[in-house]
Amino acid sequence: MDELEIGDNVLTAITADSGFATSFSPVRWFIHRRPEQLSEFITFKTATKSLKITPNHLLPVVECGSVDGFSLLNYLAASKPSQEAKQGDCLLTVVNGELQSEQILSVDSVMQAGIYSPITSIGNIVVNDVLASCYTGSNHQVRHAVFKAIEFLTDAVSFVAESLTSSNSLEVMQRADGEVPYVLRFLLSAQNAFVSA
């Protein structure tokens, strides 16, 4: 994660005719990109996978067994803060390009420096072959809708600015460190107030 840059393509999950598939999606922003910040991380281990994630990061925790016939959007919508997942629950993992459920065998906590929270256009990311939401908090769908609106506005403003200036290097609404601009952070905070109300 520490080498990831805006524009890099990362593995994501998509809905396909035959169920689920993996695809690559570009990193649009970072909610957090703080290599020096000390934070708690939770490590989940399955029989074949391991994921280290912050406690409030949203994680699709599913019933163990077949994942056929279920919507990827439903799995993501049901995501919960990773601190609520426990041994015996199942995570969605990628095996040979397909999603399957794998039971959590152990859960540990560790303090570590470096918080990275990339946002993709699709709203999910596959880390160490484990599917995670791109968001923190309590509601994947609301967060994703807000970021899709932000993405649309950013693209529209950039298009207009580039059209007016003929400069392809103008980056509007983007902080130098790659994190979400302050005005958009305010909108996310406001959204938190409405969701929790």
Q: Which amino acid is residue 77, in one-letter code?
A: A
Domain membership flag for residue 150: yes
Of 114, 138, 162, which residue sits at a domain end? 138
* Reported confidence tier of residue 25, pLDDT bands at 50, 70, 90: very high
Residues 101 and 50 in one domain: yes
**20 beta partners:** 15
The pTM score is: 0.78
What does the pLDDT look like over 106-159, one tens digit per residue?
A: 999 999 999 999 999 899 999 999 999 999 988 888 888 888 887 777 777 776
Residue-wise pLDDT for 33-77, tens only, equals 899 999 999 999 999 999 999 999 999 998 888 776 567 888 888
Provide the residue range defining the domain that includes 22: 9-138
103 CA to centre of own chain: 21
181 and 124 share a domain?
A: no
Give how many domains the chain has, as a whole number: 2
State yes or no: pLDDT of 88 exceeds 90. Answer: yes
Pair 118, 29 in one domain: yes
Q: Please state, in angstroms and rounded to a whole number, the distance separating the CA atoms of residues 133 and 140.
A: 7
Q: Are 22 and 97 in contact (CB under 8 A)?
A: yes
Q: Does one domain contain both 151 and 67? A: no
Distance of alpha carbon 71 from alpha carbon 53, whole angstroms: 24
The answer to whether residue 128 sits within a structural domain is: yes
List the beta bridge partners of residue 40. Answer: 111
Residue 3 included in any domain: no
Q: For the segment 64-73, what is each residue's pLDDT rounded down to a tens digit?
A: 887 765 678 8
Residues 159 and 70 in one domain: no
